[in-house]
Chain A
């Protein structure tokens, strides 16, 4: 089995992935899938300037190589 860790951000993006996991479809393909759910951003500083916001947003686990795939 190949181990894969995937980020789950908004559920609407990952609905097929959750269905695949709960119905054994990843296992059938030889994939040992693990999900890491990102947490909501919590309080953020409000700004009208996009340059003041880090475009990585909450996808830090991917940037830190703790997950190997995410969708958005």
Chain B
């Protein structure tokens, strides 16, 4: 489970989402930041005034916000903590369910073994989240960028924001509600059927354990 936060610069005139109509907001289309932005903003401003712009990676979105190219951006951790450390404003944020995407040729036994290992790691993580935050700070792909903006320590993170739960099958209700929401926004071809798109492989895994 991951959170995406809508952030603005420290000196931004925007202090809540309602003033962001027709203002540029950096997201990555077809990914969590895109969908969470729509879910959060549609409660504040009319859909035709929601102006999302594709900027790609969280680093791109963060820097576009920081440099003033856009009015706001949707980012996840560790960019939320970095933004807040720099005095940026979090206008709202939303959690969403992630998913494991496995190839067709992954057998059930292997998938179950992976999940058992991951579940043990989730227990370790939830016992002491701060102990493992160095993985995010030291990620070789972004470590230098984080340092460029002053760096992060494990103490900079808001731990309740980090929610790790064990793999759970999507319920039919969640699939159906999400499918309907996506087709309403034109993000999914209405002729596709939710049962054609989702294979709840984890359901079989749990049943066989």
- Chain A: residues with CB nearer than 8 A to chain B? 2, 4, 10-13, 15-20, 23, 25-26, 28-31, 33, 37, 39-48, 50, 52-53, 55, 57-59, 62, 65, 68-72
Contacts and interface: CB of A to CB of B under 8 A. Distances in A.
Interface in B156-207: 162, 164, 187
A39 B31 CA distance: 16
Nearest to B64: A46
A53 B114 contact: no
26 contacts: A2-B110, A4-B114, A12-B2, A17-B118, A18-B135, A19-B121, A19-B132, A26-B117, A29-B113, A29-B117, A31-B114, A39-B141, A40-B142, A41-B57, A41-B60, A42-B56, A44-B54, A44-B60, A47-B54, A48-B53, A57-B28, A58-B57, A62-B101, A69-B101, A69-B103, A71-B101
Contacts of A25: 117-118, 120-121
B13 interface: no
B119 to A, nearest CB: 8
B125 A16 contact: yes
B85 interface: no
B29 A50 contact: yes
Interface in B51-75: 51-60
B141 A40 contact: yes
Interface of B: 2, 28-32, 34, 51-60, 76-78, 98-103, 105-106, 110, 113-114, 116-118, 120-122, 124-125, 132, 135-136, 139-142, 162, 164, 187
Nearest to A28: B117
B103 A65 contact: yes
A45 B53 CA distance: 10
Contacts of A13: 2, 98
A40 B51 CA distance: 23
Contacts of B139: 11
B20 to A, nearest CB: 14
Nearest to A45: B54
Contacts of A29: 113-114, 116-117
Contacts of A68: 102-103, 105-106
Contact of B117 (A31, A37, A41, A57): A31
Contacts of A43: 56, 60
A71 B121 CA distance: 16
A39 to B, nearest CB: 6
Nearest to A7: B101
Contacts of B110: 2, 4, 31
Nearest to B166: A16
A46 B55 contact: yes
